[in-house]
Amino acid sequence: MQLLDGKSLSKKIELTIADEVKEFKVSSGVVPGLAVMLVGQDPASAAYVGMKKKACDRVGFYSVTHEMPEDISQETIENTISMMNNNPSIDGILIQLPLPPQIDETKILELVAPNKDVDGFHPFNVGRLTTGLDGFVPCTPLGVMELFKEYDIDLKGKNCVVVGASNIVGKPMAALLLNADATVEICHIFTDDLKKHTLDADILLVGVGAINLITDDMVKQDVIIIDIGINRADNGKLVGDVDFKNVSNKCSYITPVPGGVGPMTIAMLLKNTLKAAKAHAKSRI
């Protein structure tokens, strides 16, 4: 069993991005900029936004966080997004999810300019991903693909089972795997007999937010497991969706939680923002 070390890989990617940012600043005179919108006081969201801010500082980005109260109006958020869309200092816009119930989340995500949609949630970028065209890809699935690349894991023809069908992780993950010539199956809350499907997986990718959803009797020998879930156990520790202690004994590769997919998500956000900044600078020439 070998760990897929996202923590180490993310640091390596950050160093590369920091060097690219220095060169980009010299050649273009532009500092890449990321704007984050945080609505409400959810501790997990606030902590995640704080981590993104520190990552931006490490690689030399300009970053700003728009913190808004829980009872904010739809109109106020829409006006703020319009302001960010029109601000030439901002290359990437990130809306921290979830949003409060009074806010139309779909409309908000659609308001973000596609060329600043570094989270890859806009329908324009979703469509480009689905059809195999270049665009912005959601950061967590993109980070998983970087892990496969780093560890020379060939996806072509592999049976890949994705557990979880969210727009943020499951669906784009499946699209990326399909684009890499894998054979892809998606399981979700209405899937009958999950074990029947997971036992066939050469590569199992799980991201639903359920502690110990995947147990050792649900996977075959030498399976590759990508645990995208992150949950806080009763003892306060962060754990994934896979029973790591027992399942890891059957794996050829597995991501730890924490230290696997999580750090890669932030690294890909930085990568997408730099990509956006370079495209914006090129369009101004």
Catalytic site positions: 52, 96, 119
Residue 138: is the preceding peptide bond cis (ω within 30°)? no
The terminus-to-terminus CA distance of the chain in angstroms comes to 50
Question: Residue type at 260?
Answer: G
Cα separation, 136 vs 120, whole angstroms: 5
205 contacts 173 by C-beta, under 8 angstroms: yes
Q: How many residues does the chain have?
A: 285
Q: How far apart are CA 192 and CA 10, in angstroms?
A: 36
